[in-house]
Amino acid sequence: MATYEYEAKDGVGNEFSGTYSDIENVAALRAELNKVGYSLVKASRTGVRKERLKRIRRSDVVAFAYRFAGMYAAGLSVIRCLETLEEQAHNKAFGAVITDVRRSVETGSSLRNAFAKHSNIFSEFFLGMVEAGETGGKLATALEMSAEYLEKQAELRHKVTSAFVYPAVVGAVCLLVVGGLLIFIVPVFSKLYVRLHVSLPAFTQALVSLSAVLKYWWWAILITVGAGVTVLRRLLEKPEVRARWDVLKLNMPVFGRLNRMVVVSHFTRTFAMLISVGVSLVRSLEVASAVAHNHRVSEITESLQQSIKAGNPVAKSMQAHDIFPAVIVQLATSGEEAGVLPEMLNKGADFLDRDIDRAVSALLVKLEPALTLLLGAVIGLVVMGIYMPIFDYMSHLSQ
């Protein structure tokens, strides 16, 4: 499949240009345009630039879903909604994507399949909601719920990311300061000690050696770090390594509980929203597992699907896995008994989000002083290692 830039004419001779992706050749492009009454003038093959797609932000998709839902609920057709959104798009890359979606729908594709061609932009959850809304006649509701979901996920991601910003900043400052001392300060003192014929303690000698490595072999360090990152990524692509890493993330000290809450929140909210628009329990679990991005959760999902297929309630199926907090199981039980399972699971996800917010705040309170002390200790050790020979030399002079 390829992407073509083309010029065409409509039925009254007006010329226009555009792009069409996922088409085999010019003949197929001409046939697709003929279906909607357009005649191809000329076409040239091009490529979809990944760098353009990277500029499409999650907020663009959220705003798109909200506006699409509002216009469709007001009575506009899907094609007209897409045309308007295409014209109003401030992001040219996203506008091109909407154009491609509209053309796919015009040529007979379902809305879900039209969005699926851009799965790097529209998530599996979004596609599932669109499919459910399209088949169940609740497209406006499904789109609005998708936007609300994406917005909440973005807020949750921001909260969790904030827990790692401070440690990252402190770590970067520590590396810069220590690196500066080793590259610029240690060599000066090293030359001084050589002239004075001062014997260096083991720690100071280690600093001098490390300084020489950083100063003259920095390129080898960069190559080694780059190779290490590449090897790590390749290892994580292997299913067995990825599975162990996902389990480790859920059980690691300090951050394990936070990771579990985030994963369960993603899973529960996705599951609740999908079943609320008519997606089957088994299919909803499958999509929720894909959204969670965790191998351990995928294994749990398979067990949940088998249990539900066997006729067990959702709450009882969840209760068999300790990854789900008691509040989620209890709310699922109440929801099934009252016939409001999606609403109760959404409340459970809201509770987890608030718990995550509190956990992040508590974590930051503990991390800030600990990392500040660590930064001071590391820099202090380096400075002490630099000056130790001077203290020793001065003690010998005073005798």
Higher pLDDT, 54 or 366: 366
Least confident stretch, 1-5, 134-138, 222-226, 265-269: 1-5
* Residue 323 located in a structural domain: yes
* Residue 120 located in a structural domain: yes
- pLDDT beyond 60 at 89: yes
Mean pLDDT estimate for the chain:
86
pTM: 0.74
Ordered alpha helix ranges (H), 294-340? 295-309, 314-319, 326-338
Same domain, 174 and 247: yes
Higher pLDDT, 106 or 398: 106
* Residue 18 located in a structural domain: yes
Work out how many domains the chain is built from and give that number. 3
Provide the CATH number for the domain around residue 195.
1.20.81.30
- Say what percent of the chain tops pLDDT 70: 93
Same domain, 185 and 229: yes
Could you tell me if 315 and 332 are in contact, meaning their C-beta atoms sit under 8 angstroms apart? yes
Give dist(CA 125, CA 375) in Å, integer: 42
* Residue 53 located in a structural domain: no
Same domain, 305 and 394: yes
Same domain, 102 and 170: no
Residue 2 pLDDT grade (very low, low, confident, very high; cuts 50, 70, 90): low
* Residue 55 located in a structural domain: no
Residue 8 domain boundaries: 2-47
Which of the listed residues 102, 129, 144 is the one where a domain comes to its end?
144
- pLDDT beyond 70 at 398: no
Higher pLDDT, 305 or 10: 305
Q: Which residues contact 234 (CB under 8 A, 6 or more apart)?
A: none
Question: What is residue 228's predicted lDDT score, i.e. its pLDDT?
Answer: 93
138-167: per-residue pLDDT in tens?
889 899 998 888 888 888 888 778 777 878
Burial of 15 (0-12, 13-18, 19+ CB in 10 A): exposed
Least confident stretch, 25-34, 172-181, 304-313: 25-34
Which of the listed residues 144, 173, 208 is the one where a domain comes to its end?
144
- pLDDT beyond 80 at 33: no
Give dist(CA 90, CA 180) in Å, integer: 44
Question: What is residue 84's predicted lDDT score, i.e. its pLDDT?
Answer: 93
Question: What is residue 242's predicted lDDT score, i.e. its pLDDT?
Answer: 87
Same domain, 108 and 230: no
Amino acid found at 255: F
* Residue 296 located in a structural domain: yes
Residue 269 pLDDT grade (very low, low, confident, very high; cuts 50, 70, 90): very high
Q: What angle do CA 187, 193, 199 make, to 5 degrees?
A: 120
Same domain, 149 and 91: no
Same domain, 135 and 273: no
E strands in 207-249: none
- pLDDT beyond 70 at 399: no
Same domain, 140 and 152: no
Same domain, 255 and 196: yes
Same domain, 359 and 341: yes
Give dist(CA 248, CA 188) in Å, integer: 44
Same domain, 43 and 26: yes
Least confident stretch, 66-75, 179-188, 384-393: 384-393
* Residue 180 located in a structural domain: yes
Q: Which residues contact 83 (CB under 8 A, 6 or more apart)?
A: 102
How far is C-alpha 10 from the chain's CA centre?
42
Spatial strand order of the sheet with 15-23 comes to: 15-23, 2-9, 39-46
* Residue 225 located in a structural domain: yes
Higher pLDDT, 28 or 218: 218
Same domain, 167 and 309: yes
